[in-house]
Chains A and B, each alone.
Chain A
Amino acid sequence: MSFRYLEHPSDIGIEVVADKLDLAFKECYEALISLIFGSDLKLKIKSETAKKNEIKSIDIEALLIDFLNEILFIIDAEKIIPVIKDIIIEKEKLLFNYYEAEFQPIILYVKAITFHQLKIEKKENYFRLVYFVDL
């Protein structure tokens, strides 16, 4: 599993490669957290009780966008860092559990996750995902 950042004239793209789709989605989340808070983030979990969240969308591309925009909302509005333990994808539905970690200084403010040049590709034995964020 891995992610890398992609060049863009005014914003940033993220490319993820993973064996399975749910792991790829989780890696997309990891990449977003790393972008916002920095790669050397040390998390402090606030509560031992995990919160549940469910996303339903019209297709798999929209599911990724809706999922990541929900992460963005939790960060920007609730002022916590969601620490995701697991993600389950069933067609156009995604379930995730997360713990709340203490908020930390934002390195890069992300306005939104976009459909721009979005890719969800199933290769022979891995998935490749690409998305761009508006900074």
Chain B
Amino acid sequence: MKIEKINDYTYKISKDSFPFMNVDGIIYADDKLFEYIKNDKTIEQVANTAALPGIISRSIAMPDAHQGYGFAIGGVAAVDLNKGVISPGGIGYDINCGVRLLSTDLYFDDIKNKINELTKTLFNEIPSGTGRGGNLKLNYSELNTVMSEGVNWAVKHKYANPDDLEFIEENGKLKNANPDFVSDKAKQRGADQLGTLGSGNHFAEVQIVQEVFDERVANGFGLHKNQIVVLIHTGSRGLGHQVCTDYLREMDIAMKRYGIKMPDRELACVPIDSDEGRRYLGAMASAANFAFNNRQLITYNVRNVFKKLFKTDKVKIVYDVCHNIAKIEEHKINENRMKVLVHRKGATRAFPPGHKDIPQVYREFGQPVLIPGSMGTNSFVLVGTEKAMNETFGSTCHGAGRMLSRTKAKGVMNYEKAIQKLQEKGIVVYASSKTGITEEIPEAYKDVSNVVEVVHHSGIALKVAKLKPLGVIKG
């Protein structure tokens, strides 16, 4: 394989490395993160992704990249809308897994004596953990409405305020959703899971704005030092997982009819404009809308808790971003503007100042980019840039990136030690299981600060603020 270091933050995999590569691979990483990336199959997966028919310009991996299924997690690939393919592996099994940041009108001194009570109450109110259903049990008709209307459904049912919509990517609704393309199996899996956090690396955290790097942009986002915020990380639950499973199988069979051959079966794909492609995009959008509503219902619970404990109803959405999704977007390719399909798997959209698809009040600054750290570590708010538009189809990283297996993580420290370490940092934790703690220790992940520095110095998103956890809720 022909790998070349381009600069301090970028490596290139030449398309001459393999005959099936249509474009080069580009990995954003410094030397330290590149050493981690070399240890698993990330580089091979970036090369495999470069084989997608119709792929434009480059197959990209972010500094938090690690081995996934088909695409690397942290992978971005844009394809020609007319000649290109859609690959469910380029979105992942958790469609619209994403992050939402809520701001409050409270500061550290307002809550410092109630952090344990706040975290415990949130843990009791937000359904989390394995096998725990949500507070709503929807029939198929209601579920179809959730999927087709996006967060407009939540507004109608008073789980959202009308002015929430603008601060959610795509205004909380992917318009091409078609629940008819979602299987009964997927609906069965998802019917009782709306409004649930799930488990694994999903979480809700009470945080404090610890440091502001860009005062102007932070103020523009409504963020101030010592302010209390809440970060939510979850996705489309069993419904999204089943949509991906269903269509990967369907495309695995259909690919041969279209004469497509890929080096990895998890990169099964079909032409965007095929019957299978259109149906997957409709189902994917439906699952994405389910996930937006999932984060909205959790927001509703958070708002109720803050109202109960602190008598405030000023819990606002700063922004909500997807990090597993495919979108039709307009980008400049070789001086021409054209519509392309951008796959982002473990990658976040990072649109620049002036872009029409970001909230009006943010347009002078750029799109908020939310980067969760691992449990007990900092999270970050960044802002999108023109450089991201030029180099990565308006994309950046999504988190810390895992580097230790779950077994190895559990071997690093036991549950009691993990809790003690968090308590020493002043962090309160409530979790549905001990496994949820021991498998998610910070030592299992890359250093998110390192990831963010690479992103910042390569210019594909710029630092705005650093957030510190105070209370953690995990499944």
Contacts and interface: CB of A to CB of B under 8 A. Distances in A.
A108 B457 CA distance: 38
Contacts, number: 88
Contacts of B266: 114-116
Contacts of B433: 107
Given A73-B185, A76-B189, A111 B73 contact: no
A134 B93 contact: yes
B405 A7 contact: yes
Given A73-B189, A105-B131, A7 B435 contact: no
A125 B198 CA distance: 43
A12 B67 CA distance: 12
A112 B200 contact: no
Contacts of A106: 130-131
A108 B130 contact: yes
A61 B252 CA distance: 12
Given A9-B67, A62-B249, A69-B245, A107 B93 contact: no
Contacts of A126: none
B402 interface: yes
B199 interface: yes
B406 interface: yes
Interface in B418-434: 433
B87 interface: no
B238 interface: yes
A10 B73 contact: yes
B22 to A, nearest CB: 22
Interface string B170-189: 00000000000000010011
A111 B130 contact: no
A96 to B, nearest CB: 17
Size range of the chain B interface in the assembly: 35 or more
Contacts of B94: 111
Contact of A9 (B245, B249, B264, B404): B404
B130 A107 contact: yes
A135 B404 contact: no
Contacts of A134: 69, 93, 241
A66 B67 CA distance: 23
B403 interface: yes
A77 B73 contact: no
B244 interface: yes
A65 B70 CA distance: 15
Interface string A1-37: 0000101111110000000000000000000000000
Contact of B199 (A66, A76, A109, A118): A109
B253 interface: yes
Interface in A58-105: 58, 61-62, 65-66, 69, 73, 76-78, 103, 105
A64 B22 CA distance: 32
B253 A12 contact: no
Interface of B: 40, 66-70, 73, 93-94, 130-131, 185, 188-189, 198-200, 238, 241-242, 244-245, 248-249, 252-253, 264-266, 402-408, 433, 435
Interface of A: 5, 7-12, 58, 61-62, 65-66, 69, 73, 76-78, 103, 105-109, 111-116, 118, 132, 134-135
Given A105-B130, A111-B93, 16 more contacts: A9-B40, A58-B252, A77-B185, A78-B188, A103-B131, A105-B131, A107-B130, A107-B435, A109-B130, A109-B199, A109-B200, A112-B244, A116-B69, A116-B70, A134-B241, A135-B200
25 contacts: A8-B67, A9-B66, A9-B67, A9-B403, A10-B66, A10-B68, A10-B402, A10-B406, A11-B406, A12-B405, A58-B253, A69-B249, A77-B185, A105-B131, A107-B130, A107-B435, A108-B130, A109-B130, A109-B198, A112-B244, A112-B245, A115-B252, A115-B266, A116-B69, A134-B69
